[in-house]
Amino acid sequence: MEKYDSIVIGLGPGGASALYKLAREGIKVLGIDRRREIGVPIQCGEFIPQYHEYKKILPEVDDPYLEIFSRMPMKLVSNKTRSVSVYTPSGNEYSVDFDGYVIDREAFDKWIVKEAVDYGADVMINTVVYKLDRDGTVYARGKTGEFKVIGDTVVIAAGTSSTLLEQVGLFREVDELNLGHVINYQMAGVDSDPSVVEMYTGKDYSPGAYAWIIPKGDGLANVGLGIRYPYVDGEKDINVYMERFWKKHPIASVKLRGAQPLSYVGGLVPVGPPPDKTVSGRFLSVGDAANHNIASLGAGIVTSSIAGIAAGEAISKYLDGSAELNIYEDLWRRLLGRALDNGYKLRLVIDLISKNDRYTDLFMEVVGKDRIYDLVYTRAPTNVDLLKIAYNIVKG
Ligand SMILES: Cc1cc2nc3c(=O)[nH]c(=O)nc-3n(C[C@H](O)[C@H](O)[C@H](O)COP(=O)(O)OP(=O)(O)OC[C@H]3O[C@@H](n4cnc5c(N)ncnc54)[C@H](O)[C@@H]3O)c2cc1C
């Protein structure tokens, strides 16, 4: 049985970033992914903030943890956006300046893995991990059958639907309240402003979440939405919501009138609180597998990558004997804890006002544009208690 210093399960942004960091530190590391091709299918809206915006959203994150994004070649960027517009259910638009990139997520995931390979990482694709033993034995099934490898340390970065965590004593909140079911079409022929990311709220289209038009330029856009089942009153099929948003939304349908889909994906986004425990024995959880996702937005590309780099650093220190493995907990909490907590608090506000479209409109009227900044920058304001305002609106 081949032995590695570290094995990374899942090569999305979280796992790939851990693989990269470990390989760069000279550690013998293997990355495994069940996909036949890294980054495919693209289960993503592909939107990330530009580098100077992370500095505002995540001021605690020092430059080395953002290495993936500072080094990312510009050819991975499909489009640059300048603002975000949020539409309330009655169609009021609140717009804020915000510099973003729409990346080519397939190329992005592949690029991180390629960089890791350049530093010496081993990679297996088309290989599913189905069992873990506490001693670090990883049981996998690949093209040529079943096999085992063993790792001194093992990173679980296998995304939202991973069932591997429970096998090693890790846990996170993934009940239906804490889970967004999402769908995304890449569409051509979209007639929206290519510099604006659009977010739409309203129970008829995205109960408990939001719908989006994320422009990729040249009439291409990611068009999608999320739903959370505790907020769904009638129709349960997410495709019906998507069809309604595309064809019937009073504002979006005008922009999507001539649009046609080029691809379709569904997926899950964790919107629960960060877990208490992300290290158990020699195992660490990273990215969506650890709810490292900004719950109010369902955004996890950047946060997962930062957690991946932090995991790589913690493992590297553990292997050279300079630290315990669980420094990873302190590290990711120092870097991401405030933003993830704020995202979760903002999500609790969204929970209250999502119960009724009138509440969402009223809430926006009361708190105004500044709170859209708070939502986009994941700030929990200290001078106003948003939860109290939302609660008072709901109570009439
Ligand atoms: C439709 C949609 C739109 C989104 N839009 C955005 C957006 O615009 N911006 C943003 O920031 N975030 C967005 N997100 C969230 C973002 O995609 C995730 O937060 C991010 O991909 C998390 O990275 P990860 O590495 O933790 O997990 P993932 O990217 O999910 O990667 C997990 C990997 O693990 C592999 N894997 C799973 N199980 C096994 C196994 N047993 N054995 C081997 N391999 C396994 C999978 O094949 C996969 O490659 C979106 C999500 C969805 C679903």
Domain ranges of the chain: 2-78+104-173+275-344, 79-101+176-270, 349-394
Q: Kindly state the average pLDDT of the residues 134-153.
A: 96
148-177 pLDDT, tens digit each: 999 999 999 999 988 899 999 998 878 999
Look up the pTM and report it: 0.96
Q: Does the CB atom of residue 293 touch ligand 1 within 6 A?
A: yes
186-203 pLDDT, tens digit each: 999 999 999 999 999 999
Q: Does the CB atom of residue 128 touch ligand 1 within 6 A?
A: yes
Q: Does the CB atom of residue 158 touch ligand 1 within 6 A?
A: yes
Mention every residue, 6+ apart, whose C-beta is less than 8 A from residue 156.
9, 10, 132, 162, 164, 165, 168, 170, 283, 284, 285, 286, 289
- Give one DSSP letter per residue of 21-90, joined into a string: HHHHTT--EEEE-SSSSTT-S--S--EEE-HHHHHHH-TT--GGGGHHHHH--GGGEEEEEEEEEEE-TT
Q: Which two tokens stand for residue 247?
A: 């064809």
Predicted local distance difference test score (pLDDT) of residue 269: 95
Q: Which two tokens stand for residue 263?
A: 């691809």
Ligand 1 centroid distance, CA of 387 (Å): 30
Q: How many angstroms separate the CA atoms of 307 and 67, rounded?
A: 12
Q: Which two tokens stand for residue 364?
A: 């926006």
Annotation: CATH topology of 2-78+104-173+275-344? FAD/NAD(P)-binding domain (3.50.50)
Q: Among 17, 9, 72, which Cα is nearest to 35's?
A: 9
Please, what is the Cα angle at 315 between 312 and 316, to 5 degrees? 85
Confidence bin at 368 (pLDDT 50/70/90):
confident
Ligand 1 centroid distance, CA of 41 (Å): 10
CB 70 within 8 A of CB 63: yes
Annotation: CATH topology of 79-101+176-270? D-Amino Acid Oxidase; Chain A, domain 2 (3.30.9)
325-343 pLDDT, tens digit each: 999 999 999 999 999 999 9
Query: Among the atoms of ligand 1, which is closest to the Cα of residue 160?
Result: 30
Compute and round to an integer the Cα radius of gyration of the chain. 21
Q: Kindly state the average pLDDT of the residues 266-274.
A: 93
What pairs with residue 93 in β-bridges? 87
> Who wins on pLDDT, 377 or 175?
175
Of 36, 301, 305, the residue with max ligand 1 atoms within 8 A of its CB, to mutate for a pocket test, comes to 301
Ligand 1 centroid distance, CA of 117 (Å): 20
